[in-house]
Structure 1
Amino acid sequence: MGVEIRQAGESDREALVRLLDAAFMDDPVSCWVFPDRAHRGRVHGAFLGVFLDVALSEGRVDVTEDGSAAALWLQVPAGVPEEDDTPVRMRETADPDNERAELVGRLMGEVHPHDRAHEYLLLIGVSPDRQGEGLGTALIQPVLDRCDRDGVPAYLEASSARSSKLYERLGFAFTGRTVELPDGPPMWPMWREPVR
């Protein structure tokens, strides 16, 4: 049985924030940004909502018809990017006194390749009770198929060793330089060349 996927819109925002909040609540990077679980529970959704707003306004958000999984994509052009205020908005929106809420975005930006246009998987979240069912692959594969047809590479940062293995199965390879969060977990930038 196939997974029905549709493009999300602004009317889906509230449900998507809840989904992303639940999906990333125990993620190693989220736990580093917000070490106190009770505090994380109060601000985490607002933090992830900044990523969602960027994808809704500048990219696309694919969601399973039942709302159990979503993928946030951006098309990144080649060349030096304009100044990005997203890390500042992440901090100001979610947790103004927490420098990690901004630092994580800045460190990710430092390793993001810009020499070629590419599809950027900003985030993919699956409801905790549905993880392991192949929903992530079902969301990612159509975009990768399009990348292959159009000759476009894809990029992402894996936030755990477990997720990096999923992405390897989809053709992504570690770029060789981790994102080093001070006293925190590594993140694995991964690149996928189009398959011809």
Structure 2
Amino acid sequence: MGVAIRRAGEGDREEVVRLLDAAFMRDPVSSWVFPGEEHRLRTHAALMSAFFDLALSEGYVDVTEDGAAAALWWSVPASEGGEGDESDGGDGGDGGNEEDGPALLRQAVDPGNERVEMIGRLTDAIHPTDRAHEYLHLIAVHPDRQGEGLGTALVTAVLERCDREGLHAYLEASNVRSRDLYARLGFDFMGTALDLPDGPRMWPMWREPRAARQPVAS
């Protein structure tokens, strides 16, 4: 039996943010952004809430029907300057320079924590801008439900659409296990890892759309 998936909306905020908070509380990157555990326990949910807002603004949020897993996707257009274009890294890779996204995020979430801003600038700097793509920003599975294939089902549903519509996909894997999983789903490591200062490694990964299978003539 397949996994039932639906598109989330503003009314799902509390449930999805609670899920993201639980799933990423001790993730290597979250632990780097908020190195003090007590401070992380107080502040981490605010960052997840901001990410939820960004996903609704820039893309969409998919959740399993039972609420045990969620994926935050951004639909990123190609920048007008093409492959050689360089943005200021202020908006999640969509090429606009009107607002300094990482700085605004820091002010909204944790003004005294420079790493909230730094993680945005560092990931923006490696984010491809030359081709439109679907960006898997975050995917979360409740700790009690991991290993059931829920995350794979959420990702595969979007990748199947990418293949039908000829869309590329991009993500940053934050650990070796997820990197290897995404590789099995067709993502390729882009060649240069992002090593956070005194922190963990992240792997930018890109996926070319696969040609849709044509029906075999009888």
**TM bucket by the smaller chain?**
over 0.9
Q: How far apart in 2 are the matches of 1:96 and 1:170?
A: 37
1:24 is aligned to 2:39: no
What's the TM-score once normalised by structure 2's chain length? Answer: 0.87
Number of residue equivalences: 196
Q: How far apart in 1 are the matches of 2:183 and 2:34?
A: 28
Question: What does 1:40-119 align with in structure 2 at a 5 Å threshold?
Answer: 40-79=40-79, 80=85, 81-83=95-97, 85-119=100-134
Q: Deviations over 1:120-160 (max 9, x none)?
A: 11111111111111101110111101111111110000111
**Residue matched to 2:90:** none
Q: Structure 1: state its 5+ residue gaps.
A: none
Q: How far apart in 1 are the matches of 2:74 and 2:149?
A: 22
Q: CA deviation at 1:89?
A: 3.0
CA radius of gyration, larger in = 2
For residue 155 of structure 2, the aligned residue among 140, 143, 154 is: 140
Q: How far apart in 2 are the matches of 1:7 and 1:195?
A: 24
Q: Deviations over 1:8-56 (max 9, x none)?
A: 0000001111000001011000000111111101000101211110111
For residue 124 of structure 1, the aligned residue among 132, 135, 139 is: 139
Structure number with greater CO (CA < 8 Å, separation at least 6) is: 1
Matched position secondary structure for 2:209: coil
**One-letter code of the match for 1:14?**
E
Q: CA deviation at 1:161?
A: 1.0
**One-letter code of the match for 2:68?**
S
Provide runs of 4+ in structure 1 moved above 2 Å: 83-86
1:171 is aligned to 2:186: yes
Q: How far apart in 2 are the matches of 1:125 and 1:90?
A: 21
Q: How far apart in 2 are the matches of 1:86 and 1:173?
A: 27
Q: How far apart in 2 are the matches of 1:156 and 1:171?
A: 12
What's the TM-score once normalised by structure 1's chain length? Answer: 0.97
**One-letter code of the match for 2:177?**
R
**Residue matched to 1:194:** 209
**Residue matched to 1:162:** 177
**One-letter code of the match for 1:70?**
A
Whether contact under 8 Å (1:50, 1:86) holds in the other structure is no
Whether contact under 8 Å (1:50, 1:89) holds in the other structure is no
Q: How far apart in 2 are the matches of 1:103 and 1:16?
A: 25
Matched position secondary structure for 1:88: helix
Q: How far apart in 1 are the matches of 2:151 and 2:104?
A: 27
Whether contact under 8 Å (1:70, 1:139) holds in the other structure is yes
Q: How far apart in 2 are the matches of 1:90 and 1:126?
A: 24
